[in-house]
């Protein structure tokens, strides 16, 4: 598990921890992730740990939202016992959006999930209005399924 006071570490409502980070910065000191979720327009290549790539161009939305959901559900499950990180180039737009989606999967309604991430991760999370809207509507109420 991550040190709750480590850089970019977000406590999920369920009590698990994930780390958001900017890939353009060097890897923080300390333990390596067990699982990394990388949100990039192009394949970021291999890592020394288990990783998943979600095709997601900068300032846009993921190319395949179903794939994102599968990857985030795996991240949520694994974060209970493993170190999971979510990262994009700058660590704010795509990472913040994915973190809000993860918080929504953890049971917090869309708009509150956005606020949660902005309060507990970065006030600058989600850089565009469409990223914010995507996160708010990522998890559909059961009555709409």
CATH number of residue 28's parent domain = 3.90.190.10
Count of structural domains within the chain: 1
- The CA-CA-CA angle for residues 64, 134, 120, to 5°, reads 115
* Strand partners for 87: 21, 38
Residue 3 lies in a domain: no
Residue 142 lies in a domain: no
Residue 111 lies in a domain: yes
Residue 4 lies in a domain: no
pLDDT at 141: 58
Residues 12-60: pLDDT tens digits?
Answer: 999 999 999 999 999 999 999 999 999 999 999 989 999 999 999 998 9
Residue 141 lies in a domain: no
Closest CA to 117 of 141, 90, 136: 136
Boundaries of domain holding 84: 9-136
pLDDT at 110: 83
pTM: 0.95
Residue 99 lies in a domain: yes
Residue 45 lies in a domain: yes
């Amino acid at each position: 598990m991550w040190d709750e006071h480590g850089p970019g570490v977000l406590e999920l409502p369920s009590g698990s921890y994930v780390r958001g980070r900017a890939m353009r910065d060097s890897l923080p000191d300390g333990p390596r992730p067990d699982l990394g979720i990388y949100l990039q327009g192009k394949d970021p290549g291999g890592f020394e740990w288990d990783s998943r790539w979600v095709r997601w161009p900068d300032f846009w939305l993921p190319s395949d939202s179903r794939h994102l959901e599968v990857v985030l559900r795996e991240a949520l499950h694994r974060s209970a016992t493993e170190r999971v990180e979510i990262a994009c180039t700058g660590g704010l737009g795509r990472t913040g959006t994915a973190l809000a989606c993860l918080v929504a999967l953890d049971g917090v309604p869309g708009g509150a999930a956005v606020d949660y991430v902005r309060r507990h991760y970065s006030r600058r999370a989600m850089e565009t209005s469409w990223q914010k809207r995507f996160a708010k509507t990522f998890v559909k109420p059961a009555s709409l399924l």
